[in-house]
Amino acid sequence: MAENIDRKLPVGIQSFEEIRKRGYIYVDKTDIIWNLANRGKKYNYLSRPRRFGKSLLVDTLQAYFEGRKELFEGLKIMDMEKDWVKYPVVRLDMSRAGAEPQTLRAYLETTFDLLEKEYGITSKPTAQLADRFNAIITTACEQSGQQVAVLIDEYDSPLQHSWKTPYHEACRDIYREVFAILKADDKYEKFVFITGITKFTQISLFSVLNNLSNISFEPEYAAICGITKDEVIENFKPEIEKLGAYEDWDFDESVAQLKAYYDGYHFSRKNMVDVFNPFSLINALADSDLKNYWASSGATSLLPKFVDDMEIKLGDFDPCTMLRQTIETSDVTGGGPELFLYQSGYLTIKDYQMGIYILGFPNYEVRQALYETVLPALTLRKNGDIQSVQSSLMLALQLGKLADAKKHLKALIADVPYSNKKLASMDMEERYRLILSTIFNAIGCRVEVEHMLSTGRIDMVVEVTNYIYVLELKLSNNGGLAAAEKQIQAKQYTEPFKADRRKVIALAVELDDKGKGLVDWKEVEG
């Protein structure tokens, strides 16, 4: 096992100063950051999913504009920056502003109070927020003799959380009032940088700051947040080796597994470099364990606001297509569920052809988190009621205990196809395929529905650590077990998988044609 002494991974740390002063591993992005600050545009918006390092990026920009050269020693930026001018910085973190106009206004008032004290500004009790913001920017510039860097992190947080509530319009009005100043104060500003997840084009910064450049799709910034494969190998070799030692993987297999779980994001059609979710990757390397960290990040809480009937539509999103115009410029509230899923990190760019983006799930972690989220709604059970059955099913599949797995699966799908009215438009076999694939995805299996072979089409392939399960589904009134077994054998469904080190188990599965669930399954000799 590789030694991992005195190596500190920045799990959840968003402070550039803390990372640098306390010796945490830092993936050096400072060359990209310097180019953004000096060769890019003046007004910039960057959209990236939750937990993708946006706040660390903002913090690094703040340290740079404050001229804190000592924090950057040994980094790429030292070969690029010669002057290290200190600029005044005004920074807002809108994730702290709540979801109601009262909390939004209170956050801005408190932040402006602190900035006014810093610059010796006495505002009138009747002063509007916009006037106070204007005074802060102009005074900071006049006192320092340098233009101001304005950094706004998670700008859309109050708008996301107030969307489809009575408070949204009032929040929107505050945004229009306050942030119009950014355009008016152009001559006082050196650099304006805004981050967010979702894009509210008509009701926030975008409506009042029409010179704001969306750099989210620019190729030079594709990897400004997140970590590329090359950066993973360069910076985390001891941690990768430690993971491999625990799991009995060689180095290349460890990297491949990390990629399958946490990689796969693309943010530019002109630069399709693979990008890892940094939060999940760092946690996995720190724990030496491949787990689902996305589910615990709070990323799924907004799904019901933007996607209706997610449980039955999930299969429509991987893959799906979007017009370039829609994905790059549209408002999240009017761009359809695909746009929200892309902006929030559930979908990513898989390809681009003739003005059309092809989107799909980036990795196993996100896929599992999504399916786990929708499973209670699909099975018509509370989440707490199925957790134990889910875990027992996964354990049985991992150990190859078919009788136990059948019992747990029966419990999960009993009467669901018949009783779930949202499934009524599907034929019965289609309903079962949806439910079964959702269950298997939700518990962490790797699932492929309708796997194509030269000899035919396998209904479902389910992969776990030590086993590959090949499932052929038949309704009771369509031949049941006997027909499924015959098809598996006649079309040699297990042959393509026999080179795999894992054991292959073919299962003929009979499902009740009236919607009463799993009747039986039988292992079929290949």
What digits encode the pLDDT tens for the residues 411-427?
999 878 888 888 888 89
Between the alpha carbon of residue 343 and those of residues 41, 262, 349, 367, the distances in Å are 22, 17, 11, 15
Between the alpha carbon of residue 235 and those of residues 33, 238, 261, the distances in Å are 19, 9, 18
Identity at 428, one-letter amino acid code: M
Residue 499 contacts by C-beta under 8 Å, 6 or more apart in sequence?
none
CA–CA gap between residue 465 and residue 394 (Å, rounded): 10
Could you tell me if 341 and 386 lie in one domain? Answer: no
pLDDT in the model for residue 310: 85
3-state secondary structure at position 358: strand
Could you tell me if 171 and 42 lie in one domain? Answer: yes
Q: Where are the alpha helices (DSSP H) in 185-247?
A: 205-208, 229-235, 237-247
- As a 3-state breakdown, the chain gives helix, strand, coil percent values, each rounded to 5, of 50, 15, 35
The boundaries of the domain holding residue 230 are 226-262+274-289
The pairing of beta strand 320-323 with beta strand 275-276: unpaired
3-state secondary structure at position 226: coil
For 474, other C-beta atoms within 10 Å of its C-beta total 23
Could you tell me if 91 and 202 lie in one domain? Answer: yes
Could you tell me if 175 and 320 lie in one domain? Answer: no
Could you tell me if 137 and 234 lie in one domain? Answer: no
Could you tell me if 244 and 315 lie in one domain? Answer: no
7 located within any domain = no
pLDDT digits (tens, 9 = 90+) for 217-254: 999 999 999 999 999 999 999 999 999 999 999 999 99
CA–CA gap between residue 514 and residue 463 (Å, rounded): 29
pLDDT in the model for residue 270: 96
Could you tell me if 114 and 74 lie in one domain? Answer: yes
For 509, other C-beta atoms within 10 Å of its C-beta total 24
Could you tell me if 132 and 166 lie in one domain? Answer: yes
CATH number of the domain that residue 113 is part of: 3.40.50
429 located within any domain = yes
Element containing residue 149 per DSSP (H, E): strand 148-153
Could you tell me if 348 and 391 lie in one domain? Answer: no
3 located within any domain = no
CA dihedral 458, 463, 468, 473 (to 10 degrees): -30
Could you tell me if 434 and 458 lie in one domain? Answer: yes
CATH number of the domain that residue 413 is part of: 3.40.1350.10
Q: Quote the number of domains for the chain.
A: 4
Could you tell me if 241 and 313 lie in one domain? Answer: no
Between the alpha carbon of residue 186 and those of residues 39, 134, 182, 403, 459, the distances in Å are 18, 11, 7, 70, 60
Could you tell me if 195 and 316 lie in one domain? Answer: no
**Token couple for 22:** 């306390």
pLDDT in the model for residue 298: 65
CA Rg value for the chain: 26
CA–CA gap between residue 318 and residue 307 (Å, rounded): 15
- Taking the complete model, does pTM exceed 0.85, yes or no? yes
375 located within any domain = no
The pairing of beta strand 446-452 with beta strand 227-228: unpaired
503 located within any domain = yes
pLDDT in the model for residue 258: 97
Between the alpha carbon of residue 204 and those of residues 95, 209, 345, the distances in Å are 15, 9, 21
3-state secondary structure at position 509: strand
3-state secondary structure at position 161: helix
> Please, what is the Cα angle at 336 between 45 and 348, to 5 degrees?
60
CA–CA gap between residue 171 and residue 155 (Å, rounded): 12
pLDDT in the model for residue 16: 98
2 located within any domain = no
390 located within any domain = yes
Residue that is last in its domain, among 325, 349, 369: 369
- Tens-digit pLDDT profile for the chain (526 aa)? 445 457 999 998 999 999 999 999 999 999 999 999 999 899 999 999 999 999 999 999 999 999 999 999 999 999 999 999 999 999 999 999 999 999 999 999 999 999 999 999 998 888 999 999 999 999 999 999 999 999 999 999 999 999 889 999 999 999 988 998 999 999 999 999 999 998 887 555 666 677 789 999 999 999 999 999 999 999 999 999 999 999 999 999 999 999 999 999 999 999 999 999 999 999 999 999 999 998 766 666 778 888 888 888 888 898 999 999 999 988 888 888 999 999 999 999 999 999 999 999 999 999 998 898 888 888 888 877 788 899 999 999 999 999 999 999 999 998 788 888 888 888 999 999 999 999 999 999 999 999 988 888 999 999 999 999 999 999 999 999 999 999 999 999 999 999 999 999 999 999 999 999 999 999 998 6
Task: Of 463, 458, 425, give the one whose Cα is nearest residue 441.
Answer: 463
pLDDT in the model for residue 207: 67
Residue 381 contacts by C-beta under 8 Å, 6 or more apart in sequence?
none
pLDDT in the model for residue 2: 47
314 located within any domain = yes
